[in-house]
Amino acid sequence: MNRFENYIRKYLVLIFTDYGHMVAEGKLLFDLLGDDLGNMDVLIVTKEGQFIDIENANVNQILVIVHKEREPSEKLIKLLQKEQYKKFILAGIHNGTDKEIKEVQRELIRNANGRIKEYIHVLSEEMSPEWVSFSKICLAAYKRDKAGLIQNYVRLVELLISPVERISLLKHRIMHLLGPIDNDLQGLWDEAVRNERKRFDEEKWKEVCEAYKDHNWKMILMDALETIRESLEDLKKDLSEEDLKKDLSENKQEQVQKFMNSISFAINYLNGDRDEISTSDGFVKCIKEAKDLLDLIKIENIKKVYEALRKDEGTNSIHKLFNELDKTFEGLI
């Protein structure tokens, strides 16, 4: 199951906003809705990329619920109170909403055991990435751009979920990038052990090398590390919000910073600063060993790779990197 399908199954996204705000390309949200829907307090963006009345929506169709910046309507309350509806609610509330109205909105989400995050109506990734992602969802629906709809929905969910849960998603991203080669190397080793051979099967080794011949492992590792660093930066920003400080203790915050330092060391190492390896921690060494092994995935290196795995009793350095990430993330959660 990919991230989009997993998030659709698990979360219900709700955005409180008035319709007269700029979304993109010189268009207001109202311009995308038209008169009929623009007059409604609450509407739905569906998975198919349509704006529809909430009363005409099946819960399984819902991508995002959009509600005007006012007290929650009966239509919305009824939807959230449905017995069979068990998704976790992620709500974006505009920072500039009237304080009394905002509190009513907050109470609704809290009573539904949901998660609340405030945003501002500014089309700036730095100042309000939630509004940018929501705006792109609306524009993608207007243009029937399914790929844009999926991409920006995933982005919006990850901006709205809690810091602790966001950490737990990071390992899965790395697994997505490096899991296939880890599985292939483990398969080669297991097959050699099973057949009591002290070498890899040459034909299967050639197949693995052919599958990854165009992979730039340095860039793949860099992308993985940058993804982690960006998410940790978001986490640090969230920790400045009073209602999130309970999610991570002061000690946890220190651990986040320590891990960010490790990420920076690892990125510097991949960029050619070899001095970093002698002054940093085990995480950077795992990155170095994984990169060294990945660089050996060439037909002529069959013996070298086999020997590298044999020395670690079949555990390849990519799998050791996963284990190191497991240990680090468990310390943060």
Same domain, 259 and 220: yes
Q: How many domains does one find in the chain?
A: 2
Picking from 138, 161, 184, the residue at the C-terminal end of a domain is: 161
**3-class DSSP state of 199:** coil
Looking at the fold, whether 264 and 139 belong to one and the same domain comes out as no
- How confident is the model over 256-291, as pLDDT tens digits? 788 888 888 888 888 887 666 665 577 888 888 899
Could you tell me the residue range of the domain that residue 102 belongs to? 3-161
Residue written as token pair 């169709």: 61
One domain, residues 84 and 231:
no
Summarize pLDDT for 62-103 with one digit per residue, the tens: 899 999 999 999 989 888 876 345 677 889 999 889 989 999
> Do residue 21 and residue 50 come from a single domain?
yes
Give the model confidence (pLDDT) of 207-244 as tens digits. Answer: 999 999 988 998 888 888 887 777 777 666 655 554 44
Instruction: Please check whether residues 69 and 126 belong to one and the same domain.
Output: yes
* Residues 263, 259: Cα–Cα separation, whole Å: 6
Final residue belonging to a domain, choices 121, 142, 161: 161
Which residue blocks in the chain are alpha helix, DSSP H? 3-10, 29-38, 74-81, 99-111, 129-143, 146-160, 163-194, 202-211, 217-238, 250-270, 276-279, 282-294, 302-311, 317-332
Which of 161, 184, 212 is the endpoint of a domain? Answer: 161
Same domain, residue pair 233 and 328: yes
φ, ψ of residue 75 to 5 degrees: the values are: -60, -45
pLDDT digits (tens, 9 = 90+) for 304-317: 999 988 887 778 88
Q: Domain check: are 148 and 284 in the same one?
A: no
pLDDT exceeds 90 at position 140: yes
The verdict on 278 and 206 lying in the same domain is yes
**Same domain for 265 and 317?**
yes
Span of 60-74, 92-106, 108-122, 188-202 with lowest mean pLDDT = 108-122
Are 59 and 74 part of one and the same domain?
yes
More confidently predicted of 245 and 30: 30
pLDDT of residue 134: 94
- Report the C-alpha gap between 51 and 110 in whole angstroms: 27
Give the integer Cα–Cα distance in Å for 66 and 50: 12
Considering only residues 148 and 225, tell me which one the structure prediction assigns the higher pLDDT.
Answer: 148
Query: Does one domain contain both 156 and 211?
Result: no
**Does residue 186 share a domain with residue 68?**
no
